[in-house]
Amino acid sequence: MIKKKIFMALTLMITCFCSNPVLASASETIVKGYISPTIIDVSAPATVVFSIDPNAEESSQFISPEIVIENHSNAPVKVSIESGASNFIQAESSSWKPSDVLPDEYDWEKLGTKESESYLALGIKAMVGSWRKLTTTEAIYVKEQEVNNKSIVFGELEGHSSVKMALTGNYGLSFSESKQCIYKIIWTFGLAD
């Protein structure tokens, strides 16, 4: 009987070692994601009017409303003017076409009528405020943009927020008649880095 039990135990051991093992079954799941592109929705005024009154007190000679730029997107956006003269320029339809100059080119208060009616230094600058990242508060002038070969990035604007820009100008004080000029700014808005 002992021999029979040993024989059966040995047979069972050999059967376990020699039989094919049972393998667990595996399966895979593919996970796919679809991400929509961000839609940039920014607004800027279509028209901004500035005025120069050489008869007013110095602090109120150049009048211009704030330019409000609003980001209606969820994502932060960058506010810039692309390089090249066509992105901040005097319009062809302007009835008065002064030469665009830089603010340090003339002693503006000493200009006579001929020079006052011939030159204007018009610029735009970012105002300190609720920028996500403010790159520059320096004014960018039309004359600079004529020769600039790089984009001017003013800063980055958070989603669902707004910032303010301002026109600035240097001009003579002697005008023999009313003048009207037209400039255009072409903004570029892109996703912030």
pLDDT value at position 160?
A: 96
- The residues with which 134 forms a beta bridge, in sequence order, are 155
Ranges under pLDDT 50 in the chain: 6-12, 14, 16
Per the structure, the count of domains in the chain is 1
Over the stretch 59-69, which tens digit does the pLDDT of each residue have? 999 999 999 99
Range of the domain at 159: 42-191
Query: Tokens at residue 8, please?
Result: 């059966």
Over the stretch 20-54, which tens digit does the pLDDT of each residue have? 565 678 899 999 999 999 999 999 999 999 999 99
The Cα–Cα gap between 153 and 20 comes to 70
pLDDT value at position 183?
A: 95
pLDDT value at position 12?
A: 46
Report the half-sphere exposure of 85 (CA within 13 A, side-chain side).
7
In a domain, 18, yes or no: no
The Cα–Cα gap between 168 and 174 comes to 19
In a domain, 62, yes or no: yes
In a domain, 131, yes or no: yes
The Cα–Cα gap between 82 and 185 comes to 10
Q: Are 90 and 142 in contact (CB under 8 A)?
A: yes
pLDDT value at position 86?
A: 82
The Cα–Cα gap between 146 and 124 comes to 14
